[in-house]
Amino acid sequence: MTDGAAIRGNDGSKWLYTDIVKDHFFNPRNILYHGEEKDFQADAQGRVGSPACGDEMVIWLKIDPKKEKITECKWQTFGCGSAIASTSVLSVMLTENGGMNLEEALKIRPQDIMDRLGGLPARKIHCSVLGDKALQAAINDWFRKTGQHERVITEGSKIVDTEHNITEKDVEEAVLDGARDIEDVLKKLQIKKVESEVEHTLEQLIRFYTEKYFG
């Protein structure tokens, strides 16, 4: 680990941030500041978390459809300095050297992000996971928009519609992003219609997550 700044936590312990972390925190790369979203014509978007209950991360991608390469990556976060630095360096990793293709991007691990930063304090490791999940959500968005539902990544979440690979997590994120009914959820997932049995399950999940986050 390179020399860094020691920051004292609430319990009196010291967290050591590397110079790379400090650089990406004070000079974040590829960030979209508030109000600039409408001017960035993204091909895919991924959102995880919620500012109402903690950290939130949003990633926008521009993708070359022929090569499936990420040509641009923009992002915003409601989070700490580690979350900002982690997503900043992730955006560089995705677009350097002509851009990663989607299969390469999906192989990025939180550990790879931390390695590029020179490490993070143990209690801040979850910040690199947040960016990783937002990236996966954005790539899933691209798969859905291009009709490649069989390529949607569903790891770690129960599938509620096998035809379109809709998961409980997809419904949760849609509700956090403003969806309040079946029509809203399907629109966000780029799906026109599902079976009636799936509709019933989705309605139950929408009610559950709406009550959970919004009362």
> Is 127 one of the annotated active-site residues of the chain?
yes
Check 21, 94, 127, 139 and give the catalytic one: 127
Q: Is 17 helix (H, G, I), strand (E, B) or coil?
A: strand
Report the candidate in 189, 184, 187 with the shortest Cα–Cα distance to residue 164. 189
The answer to whether the CB of 29 falls within 8 A of the CB of 92 is: yes
Check 53, 109, 195, 204 and give the catalytic one: 53
Task: Give 87's contacts (C-beta < 8 A, 6+ positions apart).
Answer: 28, 57, 59, 75, 77, 130, 131, 134
Task: Give 79's contacts (C-beta < 8 A, 6+ positions apart).
Answer: 55, 56, 57, 127, 130
The count of residues in the chain is: 215
Q: Is 166 helix (H, G, I), strand (E, B) or coil?
A: strand
Positions marked catalytic: 53, 127
